[in-house]
Amino acid sequence: MPDFYTEVPRALIATARDYAAGTQFPSHRHARGQFAYASCGAISVHTPQGNWLVPPQRACWLPPGMAHGMRMHGAVTMLNIFIDSEAGRAAGLPAHCQVLDATPLLRQLLGEAVRIDALYAHESRAGRLMALLLDEIAAMPALPLNAPLPQDARLARLCTSLFHEPQRQGDLDAAAAQAGMSRRTFTRLFRAQTGLGFAQWRQQARLLAAVARLADGQPVTRVALDLGYASPSAFTAAFRRVLGEVPSAYQP
């Protein structure tokens, strides 16, 4: 993803790209902040701080200079708004990665923005549309679609292994033993470094895996059982409790 837009003298630059299922980008950085909207398909985002999952018709905010890699789940149409640092700060955009919801208005604005010439006039309909787009991006609520990575190397190794095997079973004592810690130390350190209890973190990691598989077109029952849920209904209940929707809403 070359930063061809870096020298364009506009606060916001919009682009649209189509990617085949399974397309991956290794870790890279952008001089501008990136608001990446998945018009269709889903996007996994990996940073040194953790993993994020962008479902269809949601978006991810990556602040300027943040190292990140991406993987496409299903055929993805990605609409990007690259925002310069000054405009992002003025709008109050966060200094950390977030998955964001997208209102119908924001979706319409994004669809218009990618048709606007990069050198739009500030005092024009296009300029006003881009200013409104920035306001709308800044107003979007965050979604709980991330699993932060602890700084402690022992905890990070454990979490990375669970990213790769989200279906793995085992209680808190087993996790603490794998990390080489007492239950008390493990519990305290894990919450201090992730902001989540271990059970909540593991559920988040499983839901990230679930959304990615659903976006790839896998059936709900298969996803539920593959990820270790006792039944599709138990999976649906957990999914709805965290994300507010049934799993089928995240399928293509």
The verdict on residue 215 lying in a domain is yes
State the average pLDDT over residues 174-191.
94
Residues 6+ apart with CB under 8 A from 216: 21, 42, 73, 74
Is residue 2 one of the residues assigned to a domain? no
28 bridge partner residues: 68
Residues 157 and 116 both lie in one domain = no
- The CATH number of whichever domain residue 240 belongs to comes to 1.10.10.60
**Which of 122, 143, 164 is a domain's end point?**
143
What average pLDDT does the segment 204-225 reach? 90
Q: Are residues 206 and 162 in the same domain?
A: yes
Tens of pLDDT, residue by residue over 96-132, are 999 999 999 999 999 999 999 989 998 999 999 999 9
155 and 82 together in one domain: no
- Choosing from 89, 119, 143, the residue where a domain stops is 143
What are the tokens at 224?
């539920």
| 123 plus 168 within the same structural domain | no
pLDDT of 3 above 70: no
- Range(s) of the domain holding residue 243: 148-250
State the average pLDDT for the chain: 91
Domain termination site, one of 143, 169, 199: 143
In a domain, 40, yes or no: yes
Res 2 pLDDT > 80: no
One domain, residues 59 and 158 = no
97 and 173 part of one domain: no
Domain-located, residue 79: yes
pLDDT at 86 over 90: yes
Please report whether residue 97 resides in a domain: yes
User: Is the Cβ–Cβ distance between 54 and 33 less than 8 Å?
Assistant: no
CA dihedral 210, 214, 215, 216 (to 10 degrees): 110
Same domain? For 170 and 135 the reply is no
pLDDT in tens, 13-28: 999 999 999 999 999 9
Q: Are residues 135 and 238 in the same domain?
A: no
Same structural domain for residues 197 and 116? no
pLDDT at 1 over 50: no
pLDDT of 252 reads: 72
Distance of CA 121 to the CA centre of its chain: 32
Cα 229 from Cα 217, distance rounded (Å): 19
Encoded tokens for 109? 């604005």
Q: What percent of the chain has pLDDT over 90?
A: 69
Residue 241: the pLDDT is 87
Is the predicted pLDDT of residue 5 greater than 80, yes or no?
no
Q: What is the pLDDT of residue 150?
A: 92
Say whether pLDDT at 198 is over 60. Answer: yes
Q: Crossing angle of helices 153-164/183-194, nearest 10°? A: 80
Q: What is the rounded radius of gyration, in angstroms, for the C-alpha atoms of the chain?
A: 19
6 domain-assigned: no
Are 46 and 134 in a shared domain? yes
Kindly report the pTM of this predicted structure: 0.84
Domain total of the chain: 2
Check whether 159 has a pLDDT greater than 90.
yes
The Cα-based distances of 180 to 162, 174, 184, 187 in angstroms read: 16, 10, 12, 12
